């Protein structure tokens, strides 16, 4: 990632200077490993990253090392030394952003983090500036390319484990893929998107995460038959009683634009009351895609510094005094439609019992699917798509369904969104 930023700065330096109003000079580079892959010329290089933040010749520190602890110490030291910071570290901002922004405000320096969400897609700038006239009620998207690649490839009938191994071989997934496939990386990004959209403090610890490791080719195929596609989405929605903040597999209508986003690409939907629904699409990772966002932040900081401007965009798009302490709703209180897969014994009256339980809990069924050709070992899968209800209703219904002697195994549940 740092190599991409260096390469773009070297290649497009004159053009970038024209936009920034001053020349961007690399005063020092530090890395925790030797970088023989890049010709640094006469630029001082160090294996101690703190050499950069303690160098009096450095005005802007670009933090691209990732992680929590060292990055936090590095950024806070830079701020304390009166230096501006540009970071691509979504985990750092999601977890420690409130502390970092407060420290930066006290020192009068800028912390910029466009590259922390959706790589090269300038969605933070779009929300904080381009949509500043709008009340945003929903922001949602595919914000992890690894998960999107896996679900795309599974549409061909391939198993999760097989595609994950391929993604690791291609460099799309880490050796330990937990952050990507279990939704933690997406939750970091969603936390930032929600705060900039709704004007609330960062609260990553309250985000709900659910991964894609339990998704099967069977469910992907049957979602397609129902007119839906399964995507691993981050969803933040404003409700009267608080905000939803959740990452999980989601059925999306195949006709919706976001359902067409395949492979490692990202896309973010932002719904404003004035402009309506907008979508931002492009590469969410990659050295030069990330560099595009990092350098855009450097240019913004350079403009402010060179013109001694006090007019700065608030970190979360709202002045600190205007931030609202909105409650993050527990999952029991969120509202969604649901895809349910029930493994039922092939007996008369089973569907009637299922329908009765759904009715008892106030759940309307949009469609139901059962194929005689899938009868095996005396059981048959029953697929149900519900209308929108509260999660607690579906939880109670699932508990009652699983208590029936006619139902085998656990009920599979995948949430569904129409984004109308």
* C-alpha–C-alpha distance, residues 346 and 351, integer Å: 10
Bridge partners, 228 (sequence order):
253
> Do the strands 242-253 and 407-416 form a parallel or antiparallel pair, or are they unpaired?
parallel
Residue 72 burial (CB count, 10 A): 18
Residue tagged active-site, from 83, 125, 189, 231: 189
Q: What is the DSSP letter of 328?
A: B
Where is 234: in which H helix or E strand?
strand 228-239
Bridge partners, 118 (sequence order):
none
Q: Is 107 a catalytic residue?
A: no
Contact 144, 284 (CB under 8 A): yes
Q: Which of 284, 279, 408 is nearest to 347 (CA)?
A: 408
CA of residue 397 relative to chain centroid, distance:
30
* C-alpha–C-alpha distance, residues 45 and 30, integer Å: 6
Residue 251 burial (CB count, 10 A): 27
Q: Which of 289, 245, 293 is nearest to 264 (CA)?
A: 289
Question: Which residues carry out catalysis?
Answer: 189
């Amino acid at each position: 990632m740092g190599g991409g930023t260096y390469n773009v700065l070297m290649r497009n330096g004159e053009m970038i200077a024209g936009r920034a109003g001053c020349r961007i000079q690399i005063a020092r580079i530090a890395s925790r490993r030797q970088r023989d892959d890049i010709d640094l010329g006469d630029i001082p290089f160090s294996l101690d990253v703190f050499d950069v933040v303690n160098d009096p010749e450095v005005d802007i520190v670009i933090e691209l090392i990732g992680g929590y602890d060292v990055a936090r110490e590095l950024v806070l030291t830079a701020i304390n030394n009166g230096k501006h910071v540009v970071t691509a570290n979504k985990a750092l901002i999601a977890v420690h952003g409130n502390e970092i922004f407060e420290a930066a405000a006290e020192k009068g320096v800028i912390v910029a983090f466009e590259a922390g969400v959706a790589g090269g897609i300038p969605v933070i700038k779009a929300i904080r500036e381009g949509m500043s006239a709008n009340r945003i009620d929903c922001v949602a998207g595919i914000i992890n390319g690894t998960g999107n690649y896996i679900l795309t490839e599974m549409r061909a009938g391939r198993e999760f484990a097989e595609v994950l191994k391929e993604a690791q071989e291609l460099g799309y997934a880490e050796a330990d893929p937990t952050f990507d496939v279990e939704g933690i990386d997406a939750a970091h990004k969603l936390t930032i998107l929600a705060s900039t959209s709704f004007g609330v403090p960062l609260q990553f610890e309250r985000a709900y995460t659910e991964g894609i490791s339990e998704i099967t080719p069977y469910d992907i195929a049957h979602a397609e038959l129902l007119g839906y596609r399964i995507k691993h989405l981050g969803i933040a929605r404003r409700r009267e009683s608080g905000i939803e903040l959740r990452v999980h597999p989601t059925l999306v209508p195949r006709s919706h634009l976001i359902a067409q986003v395949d492979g490692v690409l990202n896309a973010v939907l932002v719904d404003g009351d004035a402009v309506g629904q907008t979508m931002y699409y492009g590469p969410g990772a990659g050295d030069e895609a990330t560099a595009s966002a990092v350098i855009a932040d450097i240019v913004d900081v350079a403009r402010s510094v060179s013109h001694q401007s006090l007019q700065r965009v608030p970190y979360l798009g709202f002045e600190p005094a205007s931030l609202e302490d909105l409650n993050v709703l527990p999952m029991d209180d969120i509202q969604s439609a649901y895809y349910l897969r029930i493994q039922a014994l092939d007996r008369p009256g089973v569907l009637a019992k299922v329908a009765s339980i759904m009715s008892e809990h106030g759940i309307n069924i949009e469609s139901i699917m059962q194929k005689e050709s899938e009868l095996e070992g005396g059981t048959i899968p029953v697929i149900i798509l519900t209308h929108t209800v509260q999660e607690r209703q579906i939880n109670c219904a699932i508990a009652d369904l699983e208590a029936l002697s006619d139902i085998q195994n656990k009920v599979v549940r995948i949430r569904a969104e129409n984004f109308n």
